[in-house]
Chain A
């Protein structure tokens, strides 16, 4: 087991390194000169040279790449002498646009993305699994057909269309919700809740529909298993067989999918955050891409990859706990 975990951790490091390298190569070869962009309109050749010098942009590719990597683990210095700026580890550099530390930007915005992801996850797990279970138990009834029809429809609505439709109906027409605002929970819990409600619903809809269909399919498959027939023939009530015997094997695959979906969301819900103007990591990604802010793009890509890879690892480790039939065998 320990060997397995160590091996997987090494894999995580390798993949993150490759993501880093790949992104770096991409921007190194394709992007216009960042120094010119930072310098802006009132620019002199001397100023450009100075910027290049401070940021190390005139260094060879490998020096720049390892400078970036070193910054993450040990911190790094920009410039020299009186202009020296020290960026403490973990250092992701400074935004070309705002000169803010990228690490600070991430730390500032991560809670927003986490709030969006957690709220949505709670919503879609409750709704999706409940609807799926009911459908499986009442297989073939009108409830089942309606719920599954809705689930198929709900998973076909693009996020941003749903977001616009909800805003139009709830905010403009019915005026039951205010326009989403950036308010901290401690300042005004009611407005905070109202502001996050629409992003949660928008994000949760697609997942809830998917999870309802998955839950239904898994439960129906499990109910047809031999051990379920045994349980029923022992005389257990349907409710008890469901609770004691069916739920665990039916929901275990959902748990793994949930782990990966949730991890991906922590890296930022680009479209939802952009549409609702939430200042999370996703919006930061969209903004930085629009403005060609290379250090920020590097950071959000790495962060998202980190969540996905670590999420995968956690899912695989937890799976053996949830499903004792699966055991990790070290080769």
Chain B
């Protein structure tokens, strides 16, 4: 943990910031580089989804009955789930929608929901965790009780119950809100604990004695010291939320069809796994690799920060 340095106190050449050091360490790590490359590919795919559709000529919801064998109940023609030069990742059984296009559009949904949920969770967790840790007393009491309450909730069952009870509305927004409401306590607990120890450190005391306002204390003294743990926690939260969104969509309460999502694609493949295994293997592999890459990246970032603290 780096102690916040006041600009006027820094003498001599500034040491390499921990951020730059961490990036240098990560660039030398094969696992981190591979994960980063894969994630970059997924992000590009998500952004370029319309482009992919335009090039291949298949939209995510275009039916292609020529690609499936209607006599056999709609199994795709050809081997491996209908993979061909026409459909690079095959087609869905029955209606023949292009899987590549659906994967690309599905990546948008998954990533946007996971990243927004992480952002909202982090915002809630940091604000409430710091409030509790900084002011302590009754604010701490109230926030801790709310956290206990939310963490005691059977989150998955309850998320499903809420999502199924809520009117249709804007599904992705609802998903983000529901995931964040149940997710922030885990982050807030850590932020609270660290804030409590930071508040009593000498440099905060010194700043307070030299007349810093509460805002200055919070944003200039405490928040910068939470940075490394926040970066680690948020990178590790994203894969969790990618999984949660896919799980909720898998159970039928996530994004509604025809909007594609990876979890929903896997859910619709359940009835087909025996005759057309590629139908679940492809979205499953994309989901697995995305979660794995994010986890590896988060893990390596943590290791890099920990090594920096130890030195």
- The listed residue (A168, A290, A292, A312) touching B252 by CB distance below 8 A is A290
- Give the complex CA separation of A165 and B269 in angstroms: 11
Q: How far is the CB of A302 from chain B (nearest CB, A)?
A: 9
- Give the complex CA separation of A152 and B253 in angstroms: 28
- Give the complex CA separation of A86 and B168 in angstroms: 37
Count residues of chain A with CB under 8 A from any CB of chain B: 43
Tell whether A264 pairs with B154 under 8 Å between CB atoms, given A31-B165, A286-B160: yes
- Give the complex CA separation of A290 and B157 in angstroms: 12
User: What would 28 A/B residue contacts be, using CB atoms closer than 8 Å?
Assistant: A15-B148, A15-B149, A23-B161, A26-B162, A27-B165, A30-B165, A155-B295, A156-B239, A156-B288, A156-B295, A158-B287, A160-B266, A161-B284, A161-B288, A164-B266, A164-B280, A167-B273, A168-B277, A268-B157, A270-B156, A271-B247, A271-B250, A289-B161, A289-B164, A300-B157, A301-B157, A305-B153, A308-B154
B158 touches A301 (CB 8 A): yes
A304 in contact (CB, < 8 A): yes
**Contact residues of A: prevailing secondary structure:** helix
Residues of A within 8 A of B (CB): 11, 15, 18-19, 23, 26-27, 30-31, 152-153, 155-161, 164-165, 167-168, 172, 264, 267-268, 270-271, 274-275, 285-286, 289-290, 292, 297, 300-301, 304-305, 308-309, 312
Closest 10 CB pairs of A and B: A304-B154, A161-B284, A156-B292, A156-B291, A30-B165, A172-B274, A164-B280, A164-B273, A289-B164, A15-B152
**Contact residues of B: prevailing secondary structure:** helix
- Give the complex CA separation of A67 and B253 in angstroms: 30
A161 touches B287 (CB 8 A): yes
Residues in B whose Cβ lies below 8 Å from that of A290:
164, 252
Residues in B whose Cβ lies below 8 Å from that of A285:
157, 160
- Give the complex CA separation of A81 and B152 in angstroms: 42
Count residues of chain B with CB under 8 A from any CB of chain A: 41
Residues in B whose Cβ lies below 8 Å from that of A275:
270
Q: How far is the CB of A133 from chain B (nearest CB, A)?
A: 20
